Structure 1
Amino acid sequence: MPRPSRAHHRRGELVAAARRAVLDRGVLELRLRDVASQAEMSTGSVLYYFPTLGDLLHEVQRDAVERFCVGREEAARREPDPRRKLVGTIRAGLPTGRDDELSVLLYELGAYARRTPAYAAQHIRLYERQAGLYTAILETGAATGVFDLTRAAAVIARGLVALEDGLGLHITQAVPTFTPAEAETMLIAYAADATRCDLEV
């Protein structure tokens, strides 16, 4: 009886190795041999599963986007109160600090999005998915009379995601501009003004 293929397992190992390599070296200085070293494989073996380093990093990005989105969506789904849901979503979207693996990974891979359409498309999907989550929360809150929106829900939602992204970059840079708590306060203040709702929960 033939043995089952280990290709899927090996590809998963390589994605994990590439993720660690990006966090260690940064995406702009990353080389195929860095990933191979992390995976304890030859560069030829890596290329057997992924034809180029770019293909491998695209899979790392796809995995990171999915993990980031699913975590936030599940947390929002569990909370019935719109105020708590909005605040919880804000908190879940900000990096916890310079060592927040998932956020740093997404920011690192964002460097490719400036030059490569496939990476840009993945970042656009990430942005739209986050904006959709906020839009749903805001519309529910408005429909139940909890929020009195100053603008269309989608406009506020897009502003929240853009602020979140910018603040996150400041939190994760070599010398942070401010702490996660300070960033959270700014975002919640914007959300409170946009919803005309006290969000001190």
Structure 2
Amino acid sequence: MTQDDFDSGFYQRFYRDPRTRVTTPAEMARRAAVVAAILKQWQLPVRRILDAGCGLGWMRPAMLNAFPRSAYVGLEFSEHLCRRYGWVEGSLTDYRARARFDLVICHDVMQYLPERDARRAMANLGRLCRGALYFYAPTVEDWRHHADRSCSDTSIHLRESQWYRSRLSRHFRYAGFGIHVRRGVSFPQWELERPRE
């Protein structure tokens, strides 16, 4: 996909128009609040947040409310959104930062990347994150069983869930609810709270 694909029309259709949007600000705020609550429960410090593919920034207010002393970086490929909201313009495939992040959010991004770029972006998550990663991308399985195709973007690259899991497991341990914790980072989690391996 190109810059032109992520223009104002794209965000009007998939995010602003109540008839065709795929999510709402309220849903994203709830999601962010849950992720923040889990990280607080696990006593994982969050001082630097990277929201990779932040879009309209709907997770930002809840994250900054939960972690008021943290620095938030919104990374976005869309030139249109970067101009409008002041996000850092770039791609997860090659983005670099001076310091790593305690929390990286990568929600609804990878399906827009072709294979080579997706591989690079997945590897980059391991370089950018020193703590927790909240990760979501629609999979082939989701498309078959969960996706509302009446409002879903069909111009995407669907991959098997195992494609993502195998790459995430190189740097992270899955801890539940889309949260992956960097290998070597300890946190308190009761046995029956752990996902089954």
TM-score of the superposed pair, with normalisation by structure 2 = 0.31
* Structure with the higher fraction of residues in helix conformation: 1
* Structure with the higher fraction of residues in strand conformation: 2
Q: Which has the larger radius of gyration?
A: 1
TM-score of the superposed pair, with normalisation by structure 1 = 0.30
